[in-house]
A and B are shown apart, each in its own frame.
Chain A
Amino acid sequence: MLKNKLFIICFFVALNLLAQVNNDIYSLENRVNFANHLYKETDYLRAIDEYKIILQNVENDTIRFRFANSFLKLNRFDEASENFKTLFFTSLSNEAKLFYFKSNFLKNDFKLFRKLVENKVYLPEKFYNEVNKLNSISYFLDNEILPQQGILLNPFEDSLQTKLYLFYQLKKNPPSKNPIQAAIFSSLIPGAGKIYTGELSDGIISFIATTVSLYLSINNFQNNHQFRGWVFAGISSLFYAGNIYGSYISAKKFNDESKNKVQNEIESFFKQRNYFLPQIEF
């Protein structure tokens, strides 16, 4: 009889204890739920704190992946790649390797990224082509010499080849104006160099300013106004020399702007398409 009583008491106490553990807001299970909620809410900073405590008590691949991905979402690439690295020999190996490469790619240290790809140590079998695409994109995004067109474009689908070929050509030969040529044009006809670089109004103003001051100088000399003649000759020379220098600078500016424009277009193209990476969430 007493034994039965003891059993019943034990049973209810155990049930009670179990219920309490579940009610404990800071229990491991509740922490996981809360951390996942923060992660879904994109509050990655707080999700990291929660995941960190969880991972101190238990190792779980999905949680580790989310932990690493939270760092990635916050642009903390070093911490992200370190954590993805710890998943290389787990069931999430392929995904972790891909995200490891993604973390290193987003660091913008493309030389280092390409070295990692060349080493082939951590290349994910399942996402081999995605990493190759990242490798090609890295050439589009930095200022290194572009490899052969075929090597660069091969990882991409046929539907993208035309667009990428255009980017390849633009990157290799962006629209440019020769600064020396612009300077020579302006030395022959004041303002011509500016017009050559696309600055029409500047070119016309330069032409008028130089020729008018030259005319005034000649006119004053002819009328024996030596002092004024020299003043206008000086002004005219300044306009003339300034216009040549301005044309040279204008061509350089044109080249820089055109290079930046091409680069921005390429960058936004790849960024909008998430660098052709698959959406992976656990």
Chain B
Amino acid sequence: MRIILTKFLFLIILLENNFAQTSIEEVYSLANKLFENKNYFDAITEYKRVNYFDTKKEYSFDTNYKIGLCYKYGGFYENSIQYFYDALKYSKNFDNTFEIKTQIIRVNILRKTIDRAFQLCNELEKDVLFQSKTDEINYWKGWCYIFNDDWNNAELTFAKTYLGKDIYLLAKKVNKEKLSVTFAKVISYILPGSGQIYAGKYISGLLSLAWNLVAGYFTINSFLEQRAFDGIIVGELVWLRFYKGNVENSENFTIDKNLSITNNAMKFLQEEYRGLKP
């Protein structure tokens, strides 16, 4: 009988092992593996599973935070922010709270709701709890200015933080290279074509100057020869058109040039910049 009992117990132990259960820890570790392998869709499923079965809410901060990150990496910014706010409810300490809040700012930068990102930065700045985090706050504020195409303020803000020396130098370079649209327009009013030359479009600028000189000559000549009607028609239909076109071109070329400068800077930030990005 004892032999039977021993065999029976052995069988039970075997059965127990075969009836392997999957615990929350295991699912959580699986989710982390999926996350590390950048399989964000499945990672979200598993994190959500952990969230659902974790009745004690032990994993809630981590799972919501990771779901937020997965959605962020997948470009689902609305969902991402929703889960970051959920994670905030289970924040365990001061650093957790700050990390989540900066993540929300970063997602706002990415989805280009810059006003909201500024608002959140200012809230963090005013919060006495985060007084020691001024450098980080200024760093993300600088990024807000970049996405707002305000490189001047970006440069000034990055200058206040030790975190973004490279990005500060980049902002400074962009600021130096960018052209003034108003200046281009003003010099075009004074000397047609000069605004286009200022924007680097030399041939266009010289052609514009030539057209304006010719049209201006015919207009003035008509008036001098007392052919007022011809003068008005040529002036109105030809000269004014060239003159106006010259100012508009100066403005457009300068804007295009600035766009090309900022696009190159953004490309550098996207592909080569090694610091923290939104």
Contact = CB atoms under 8 A, between A and B. Distances in A.
Contact of A25 (B12, B15, B23, B44): B23
Most A-side CB within 10 Å, residue of B8, B15, B45:
B45
A38 interface: yes
A25 B27 contact: yes
A276 interface: no
Interface stretch (A9-17, A145-153, A162-170): A9-17
Interface string B177-189: 0000000000000
A20 B19 contact: yes
A24 B21 contact: yes
A182 B140 CA distance: 60
Nearest to A23: B21
Contacts of A5: 5
B8 to A, nearest CB: 7
Interface in A7-59: 9, 13, 16-17, 20-21, 23-26, 30, 33-34, 37-38, 43, 46, 49-50
Interface residues of B, number: 21
A5 B8 CA distance: 12
A17 B23 contact: no
A2 B49 contact: no
A121 interface: no
A38 B53 contact: no
B8 A34 contact: no
B234 interface: no
Contacts of A17: 15-16, 19
A38 to B, nearest CB: 7
B23 A23 contact: yes
Contacts of B52: 33-34, 37
A83 to B, nearest CB: 21
Contacts of A46: 44-45, 48
Given A17-B15, A34-B49, A38-B48, A25 B22 contact: yes
A280 interface: no
Nearest to B8: A6
Contacts of B44: 46
Nearest to A14: B12
Contact of A6 (B5, B19, B23, B27): B5
Contacts of B12: 9, 13
Contacts of B53: 25, 30, 34
A117 to B, nearest CB: 38
Interface string A97-131: 00000000000000000000000000000000000
B1 interface: yes
Contacts of B8: 6, 9
A21 B27 CA distance: 15
Interface residues of A, number: 22
Interface in B39-71: 44-45, 48-49, 52-53
Contact of A9 (B9, B16, B22, B49): B9
A235 B75 CA distance: 55
B24 interface: yes
Interface string B182-199: 000000000000000000
B22 A26 contact: yes
Interface in B125-159: none
A30 B8 CA distance: 30
Contacts of A21: 19, 21
B4 to A, nearest CB: 8
Nearest to A49: B45
Interface in B1-31: 1-2, 5, 8-9, 12, 15-16, 19, 21-24, 26-27
A9 B16 CA distance: 13
B22 A24 contact: yes
Nearest to B27: A25
A33 B52 CA distance: 9
A156 B16 CA distance: 63
Contacts of B15: 13, 17
A50 B53 CA distance: 15
A78 B24 CA distance: 36
A229 to B, nearest CB: 13
A210 to B, nearest CB: 17
Contacts of A25: 22-24, 26-27, 49, 53
A49 B49 CA distance: 13
Contacts of B27: 25
B130 to A, nearest CB: 32
A190 to B, nearest CB: 21
5 contacts: A13-B16, A16-B16, A26-B22, A34-B52, A46-B44
Interface of B: 1-2, 5, 8-9, 12, 15-16, 19, 21-24, 26-27, 44-45, 48-49, 52-53
**Closest 5 A/B residue pairs (Cβ):** A24-B21, A20-B21, A25-B22, A46-B45, A26-B22
Interface of A: 2, 5-6, 9, 13, 16-17, 20-21, 23-26, 30, 33-34, 37-38, 43, 46, 49-50
